[in-house]
């Protein structure tokens, strides 16, 4: 298998963290070749990579039979069921659990991560020459994130993670979303901005993933 990825972007980090929760390290997975891409240099725009993913976006996993998975959630689904590791199913193990985790993952994706990606594309100076930036879009997107955060804060007031006391893929997506907020000056450690429980959750996930831990 070949994984086209990069260290910093939120969608590639979902994979790294999912694998960590399973007690593994991407670099130690047998039969996985990691191709580190430099997005600032434009590695995603080369004709070779465009032939693999015409959207020119990371991450992409190419299976040994040539199957191309060009979406972070699809890659995570494949690795969650394909890799044994410590046996944890980060995306759920029965139909109800899987559906609940998918719903919460998509809530975190659409209301937090996606809006911050829009804010980045339309408001960050680093993107100015790369795509047209619509005036006011960054501010509107950040306002949508702030409006959604109390929903997550209420859930996190009740348990350690979004869906209870067990870390799931939805937590990983909320975490990478909150962490990406820093790029747009939305400080995920500031309880007054993100909510007391969201700030506590962010801190706890930060500690969890900044160490080389195999336990969730």
What is the contact surface with ligand GSH in residues (CB under 6 A)? 9-11, 39, 44, 56-59, 71-72
CB atoms within 10 A of CB 92: 19
Give the shortest CB-196-to-ligand GSH separation in angstroms.
28
Give the side-chain half-sphere CA count within 13 A for 80.
20
Give the shortest CB-110-to-ligand GSH separation in angstroms.
11
Complex with ligand GSH: residue 46 or 213, whichever CB lies closer:
46
Three-class DSSP labels, 93-105: CCHHHHHHHHHHH
Complex with ligand GSH: residue 66 or 129, whichever CB lies closer:
129
Cα torsion at 117, 35, 212, 114 (round to 10°)?
A: 10
- How do strand 33-36 and strand 60-62 relate by DSSP bridges? unpaired
Complex with ligand GSH: residue 35 or 57, whichever CB lies closer:
57
Give the residue from 3, 6, 11, 4 showing the smallest Cα distance to 179.
Answer: 11
Give the shortest CB-115-to-ligand GSH separation in angstroms.
13
Complex with ligand GSH: residue 56 or 89, whichever CB lies closer:
56
Omega into 43 within 30° of 0, i.e. cis?
no
Give the shortest CB-50-to-ligand GSH separation in angstroms.
11
Complex with ligand GSH: residue 156 or 180, whichever CB lies closer:
180
Q: Rg of the chain over CA atoms, in angstroms?
A: 17
Give the shortest CB-191-to-ligand GSH separation in angstroms.
27
């Amino acid at each position: 298998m070949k994984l086209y990825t990069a260290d910093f972007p939120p969608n590639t980090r979902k994979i790294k963290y999912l694998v960590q929760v399973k007690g593994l390290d991407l670099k130690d997975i047998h039969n996985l070749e990691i191709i580190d891409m430099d997005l600032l240099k434009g590695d995603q725009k080369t004709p070779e990579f465009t032939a693999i993913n015409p959207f020119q976006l990371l991450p992409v996993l190419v299976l040994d039979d040539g199957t191309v998975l060009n979406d972070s959630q699809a890659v995570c689904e494949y690795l969650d069921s394909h890799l044994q590791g410590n046996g944890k199913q980060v995306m759920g193990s029965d139909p109800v659990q899987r559906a609940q985790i998918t719903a919460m993952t998509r809530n975190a994706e659409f209301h937090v991560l996606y809006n911050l990606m829009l804010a980045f594309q339309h408001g960050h100076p680093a993107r100015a020459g790369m795509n047209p930036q619509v005036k006011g879009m960054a501010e509107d997107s950040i306002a949508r994130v702030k409006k959604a955060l109390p929903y997550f804060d209420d859930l996190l007031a009740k348990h350690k993670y979004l869906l209870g006391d067990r870390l799931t893929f939805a937590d990983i997506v909320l975490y990478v979303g909150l962490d990406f907020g820093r790029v747009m000056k939305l400080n995920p450690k500031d309880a007054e901005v993100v909510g007391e429980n969201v700030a506590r959750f962010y801190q706890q996930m930060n500690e969890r993933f900044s160490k080389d831990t195999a336990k969730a």
